[in-house]
């Protein structure tokens, strides 16, 4: 009974397929080969797709049928027509190993012999390398064009292609409509839905004749090509374009700011500095509400049983400022802290090296004992049961030593802790220049509780700021206070670092979960002014 063969022909591009010569030549060569060898071709498989990557639909369908045993063999013109990637070639190799008769017309290999199989493998590797080299050459050509300011892909909407190695030109029809699209959105008075209908009425639509839906609008409004900059979406790389910009940079920046804020016209809201921060200590922690009265911002508690807690925003901010001044380090203090941390790191490095040497020696001693124990078993001095019991104890001991050596070998997190503190301290140093949102972040960073009553306030500091504030109690002058501050802070960083090394916890830069502590700053409140003003005044730099 004659064997049933499949025949597979392939070209890489539609252009090659339309030409027809390549497919025709492959078919003629395969038919001549089949006639000469008396082979029966039961079915032809034809495909127009690159073989550089997996997933060819027709090829996969053919391989499934061959694996199911619906044919006895396969005829292909050349190896590179069947596979140009290692995985497809490996699949063909599995078919050959299962007894499928695979033949290549132009490459007369005996795939049943070791030498023939090796020659075919080499030819397949050469085909794979050809694709890799071709990919690199294409990539070089693309980047060469980009560096010249030329866009080597299809022109975006609003521009026209003018040929290879030439800059895109503005589309006289769609170009002005794209400019109008940017101008309308930049007014911040129109959303995507209304913008879509408006541009449809003006005649702007996709190449398929569809409206500009949200995804298309987002891509257009975010594309810097319209201001003369080429951006490659897959890599994020940018190049200066040689084409004429369609819109001005100021217009593009305005649109970007609106897109980032996702703005459509909204009702005006007052973003009060202390919203959801200051609590009423007389009403079980109810937050004070900001209000504007006669040009001033007041924070009042609206609890049903509240005795009438009301504070001016300026007075609350002065309380925060008084604490910021107490805990922030100036340049000299930071320099002293860096010196202390550097000295600690140097001392720790020496101690770490000593511990590593002694721990490595202990590890070697345990390994030697394990080796001697094995010798005793070989010499029949001890039985297998005794050997197993003693070896288990030694291995458990060894694991403990290895874990200790791993902890010792970890770098000290001191420098990372210091870097995190310096970032936070820089925010404290420029507190007066921050906007309200940034000030809120600083307040939440330094304080775990800010509560007020009708007559006083309590400000609770987090660690390490608690220790820094407490250092004021151990010094008689500003210079001594600075030294005490830095020494206590350095000691605190050292303790946290040692704890993390011991537990294996990960250091989180800039988000140190400092332990909460309490520094109560109770500030008396002066008698209330007449009810019409309800203002609060007083010197909040003098804690009670």
Check residue 170 and give its pLDDT.
92
Q: How far apart are CA 489 and CA 483, in angstroms?
A: 10
Check residue 446 and give its pLDDT.
87
SS3 annotation, 269-335: CCCCCCCCCEEECCCCCEECEEEEECCEEEEECCCCCCCCCEEEHHHHHHHHHHHHHHHCCCHHHHH
Provide DSSP, 50-90. Answer: -SSSS--HHHHHHHHHHHTTS-SEEEES-HHHH-SSHHHHH
Check residue 530 and give its pLDDT.
43
Specify the pTM: 0.38
Q: Which structure tokens are listed for 484?
A: 């005490």
CB atoms within 10 A of CB 166: 12
Residues with Cβ within 8 Å of residue 461, at least 6 apart in sequence:
323, 327, 446, 447, 448, 469, 517, 518, 519
* Closest by CA position to 544, among listed 519, 523, 526: 523
Check residue 181 and give its pLDDT.
93
Q: Which structure tokens are listed for 284?
A: 């079980």
Taking 50 as the pLDDT cut, the residues of the chain under it are 20, 263-268, 474-479, 481, 503-544
Q: How far apart are CA 390 and CA 413, in angstroms?
A: 38
pLDDT in tens, 274-331: 888 899 988 877 888 888 887 788 998 888 888 778 888 899 999 999 888 888 888 8
Check residue 221 and give its pLDDT.
92
């Amino acid at each position: 009974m004659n064997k049933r063969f499949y025949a597979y022909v392939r070209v890489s591009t539609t252009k090659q397929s339309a030409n027809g010569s390549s497919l025709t030549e492959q078919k003629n060569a395969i038919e001549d080969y089949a006639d000469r060898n008396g082979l029966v071709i039961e079915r032809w498989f034809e495909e127009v797709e690159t073989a550089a990557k997996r997933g060819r639909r027709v090829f996969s369908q053919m391989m499934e049928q061959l694996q199911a045993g619906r044919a006895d063999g396969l005829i292909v013109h050349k190896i590179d027509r069947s596979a140009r990637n290692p995985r497809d070639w490996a699949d063909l190799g599995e078919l050959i190993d299962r007894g499928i008769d695979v033949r290549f017309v132009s490459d007369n290999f005996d795939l049943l012999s070791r030498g023939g199989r090796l020659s075919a493998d080499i030819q397949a590797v050469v085909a794979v390398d050809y694709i890799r080299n071709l990919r690199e050459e294409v990539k070089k050509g693309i980047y060469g064009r980009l560096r010249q300011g030329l866009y080597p892909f299809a022109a975006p909407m609003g521009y026209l292609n003018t040929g290879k190695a030439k800059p895109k030109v503005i589309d006289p029809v769609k170009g002005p409509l794209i400019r109008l699209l940017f101008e309308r959105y930049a007014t911040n008075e129109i959303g995507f839905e209304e913008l879509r209908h408006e541009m449809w009425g003006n005649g702007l639509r996709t190449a398929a004749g569809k409206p500009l839906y949200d995804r298309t609008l987002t891509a257009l409004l975010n594309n810097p090509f319209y201001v003369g900059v080429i951006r490659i979406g897959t890599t994020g790389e940018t190049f200066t374009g040689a084409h004429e910009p369609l819109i001005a940079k100021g217009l593009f920046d305005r649109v970007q700011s609106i897109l980032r804020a996702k703005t459509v016209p909204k009702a005006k809201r007052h973003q009060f500095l202390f919203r959801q921060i200051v609590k009423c200590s007389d009403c079980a922690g109810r937050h004070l509400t900001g209000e504007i009265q006669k040009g001033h911002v007041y924070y009042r508690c609206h609890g049903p049983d509240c005795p009438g807690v009301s504070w001016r925003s300026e007075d609350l901010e002065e309380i925060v400022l008084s604490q910021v001044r107490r805990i922030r380090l100036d340049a000299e203090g930071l320099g002293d802290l860096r010196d202390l941390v550097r000295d600690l790191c140097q001392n720790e490095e020496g101690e770490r090296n000593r511990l590593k040497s002694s721990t490595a020696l202990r590890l070697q001693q345990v390994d030697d004992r394990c080796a001697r124990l094995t010798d005793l078993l070989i010499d029949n001095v001890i039985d297998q049961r005794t050997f197993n019991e003693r070896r288990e104890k030694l291995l458990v001991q060894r694991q403990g030593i290895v874990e200790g050596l791993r902890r010792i070998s970890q770098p000290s997190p001191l420098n990372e802790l210091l870097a995190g503190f310096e970032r936070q301290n820089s925010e404290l140093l420029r507190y007066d220049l921050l906007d309200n949102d940034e000030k809120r972040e600083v307040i939440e960073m330094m304080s775990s509780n800010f509560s007020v009553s009708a007559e006083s306030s309590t400000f609770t500091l987090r660690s390490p700021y608690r220790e820094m504030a407490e250092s004021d109690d151990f010094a008689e002058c500003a210079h001594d206070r600075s030294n005490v501050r830095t020494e206590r802070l350095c000691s605190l960083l050292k303790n946290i670092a040692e704890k993390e090394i011991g537990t294996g916890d990960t250091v989180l830069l800039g988000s140190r979960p400092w332990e909460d502590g309490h520094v109560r700053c109770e500030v008396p409140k002066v008698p209330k002014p007449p009810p019409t003003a309800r203002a609060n005044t007083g010197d909040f730099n003098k804690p009670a």
